[in-house]
Amino acid sequence: MSNIAIVGAGFIGLASAASLMREGHCVTLFDPSGVGQGASFGNAGTFAHYACIPVNNPSVFRDLPRFLLSNQSPFRLRWGYLPHLAPWLVRFMMSSLPRRSAASASALAALLRHAQDGYAPLLEAAELARFVRPRECLYLYSSAASFDAARAALDQRRQLGVVFDVLPGDEVRALEPSLAPIFERGVLFSDSWHFASPQGFLQTLYERLAAQGLTLERSAVSAVQPAADGVVLSVDGVPRRFGHAVIATGARSAQFARQCGDSVPLDTERGYHVRYPGMQQLISRPVGWAERGFYMTPMSDGLRVAGTVELGGFTDTRNASLLDLLTFSSKRALPELGKPDSSWLGFRPTLPDGVPVLGCSSASERVIYAFGHQHLGLTLAGISGRIVADLVAGRAAPLDLAPYAATRFHRPAGVVHGPAEVLG
């Protein structure tokens, strides 16, 4: 059995540790922030197995003016960041063309079909399963025009195997009576669920694994160097040798990929949430307002309102207008809400084709990538961890990993190699 380093202690890193330890490997986690303190801390908590339509899709060309100009848009671009972001944006727009977007959707759907099976071994433990709330997610549309604009994406989901029901406004109100009577349509996604506390789940998983021998070092890894018989990590400036290394540092993974021979156009989506304490009883399930780009999720410590996208790098300065939008929009949807007592800013990884990187590095099969999951890190954690264990063992993964390879970004822009391939 191998001595394995995992860089990153979020959902992907911990799920990978669980899969590797199940097979007898010795695992050390490295994360200076501790367990689940990045994007894994502040997400909407939803198991979104239905989320196979990437952000990069043809509707971008129609909606971009509204995204950029409307004060109710869930999207923001920090204009001072634009010179750095411009190459990524070009790739993103190219990936939004119909053929490429369809390839991204197929790749995501293939992973998502395995998402529940990936979680199954984790949820066999009662102390972890207690965090699961098996209630379907409800998407809301406040106008018939917005719902009609979403029909193509809904049809595409159905074609890719997603099961859902479309509800008229009166059935939406019957399902969630606290909602304001402003929603024309709802989409209820079958077999989805959410965590009552994503952080509680991760902390419990970590404690369970620590009792079985997992080591967590709150140390910074600055370099990953493949060697003939393993991988050398620079940990707080000190070289450390391991048999394998797993890169699961989300939005901060690109530097390690570069060190291992892969140029990956990874950037950052700045995501936000606000919390309303004691308000979780107002709804019984995750509720998303499609036009406003956020979820409202009942959690053990209150109602979490999470979402929006801001492209602007890693600066800690919060965008007050996005926090105000979350507060205003959530109170418009749920008039009984009071005042939020806390807010959060986190950094999601974002790739221009919307598909994560899963596979071995170009420099060595001993360096394994598991990053770039965008809004699906929680959902895809279980299956990503299983794939990591498969790669370490040298056995076939449960699906073709070619669409998720880092090398897809090495190809010349504009060259399409086949419908199964996702290009950057």
Tens of pLDDT along the chain (424 residues)? 889 999 999 999 999 999 999 999 999 999 999 999 999 999 999 999 999 999 999 998 888 777 776 777 888 899 899 999 999 999 999 999 999 999 999 999 999 999 999 999 999 999 999 999 999 999 999 999 999 999 999 999 999 999 999 999 999 999 999 999 999 999 999 999 999 999 999 999 999 999 999 999 999 999 999 998 999 999 999 999 999 999 999 999 999 999 999 999 999 999 999 999 999 999 999 999 999 999 999 999 999 999 999 999 999 899 999 999 999 999 999 999 999 999 999 999 999 999 999 999 999 999 999 999 999 999 999 999 999 999 999 999 999 999 999 999 986 543 333 333 332 2
Structural domain of residue 391, as residue ranges?
A: 3-410
Residue type for position 216: L
Q: Which residues pair with 28 in a beta bridge?
A: 5, 215
Q: What is the rounded CA–CA span in Å between residue 230 and residue 323?
A: 45
* In contact, 353 and 422? CB cutoff 8 Å: yes
Distance, CA of 337 to chain centre: 27
Residue with tokens 């409800």: 138
Q: What is the rounded CA–CA span in Å between residue 276 and residue 24?
A: 42
Sign of dihedral through CA atoms 297, 298, 304, 305?
A: positive
Within-domain flag for 417: no
Predicted local distance difference test score (pLDDT) of residue 61? 87
* Helix 115-123 and helix 11-22, axial crossing angle in degrees, nearest 10: 70
Q: What is the rounded CA–CA span in Å between residue 424 and residue 79?
A: 23
* In contact, 358 and 365? CB cutoff 8 Å: no
What backbone torsions phi and psi does residue 31 show, to the nearest 5 degrees? -165, 115
Residue 94: closest CA among 54, 58, 51, 64: 58
Question: In this prediction, what percent of the chain has a pLDDT beyond 90?
Answer: 90
Within-domain flag for 177: yes
Within-domain flag for 415: no
* In contact, 206 and 60? CB cutoff 8 Å: no
Within-domain flag for 334: yes
Surface-to-core class of residue 225, CB atoms within 10 Å of its CB (0-12 exposed, 13-18 middle, 19+ buried) = middle
What backbone torsions phi and psi does residue 143 show, to the nearest 5 degrees? -145, 150
Residue 236: closest CA among 224, 255, 253, 222: 222
* In contact, 265 and 409? CB cutoff 8 Å: yes
Within-domain flag for 215: yes
Within-domain flag for 145: yes
Within-domain flag for 19: yes
Within-domain flag for 152: yes
Residue type for position 300: S
Paired tokens of 198: 């994503």
Rg (CA), the chain: 21
Query: What CATH number does the domain containing 168 carry?
Result: 3.50.50.60
This prediction has a pTM of 0.94
* In contact, 347 and 40? CB cutoff 8 Å: no
Q: What is the rounded CA–CA span in Å between residue 222 and residue 74?
A: 34
Q: What is the rounded CA–CA span in Å between residue 297 and residue 282?
A: 10
Q: What is the rounded CA–CA span in Å between residue 41 and residue 26?
A: 26
* In contact, 189 and 139? CB cutoff 8 Å: yes
Any idea what DSSP says for residue 276? E
* In contact, 305 and 273? CB cutoff 8 Å: yes
Residue 74: closest CA among 266, 241, 311, 301: 311
Q: What is the rounded CA–CA span in Å between residue 48 and residue 36?
A: 19
Predicted local distance difference test score (pLDDT) of residue 411? 63
The domain total for the chain is 1
Any idea what DSSP says for residue 408? G
Give the contacts of 187 (CB within 8 A, at least 6 positions apart): 138, 139, 141, 154, 164, 165, 166, 167
Residue 314: closest CA among 343, 344, 342, 346: 346
- Cα-Cα end-to-end distance for the chain: 36
Residue 60: closest CA among 138, 137, 153: 153
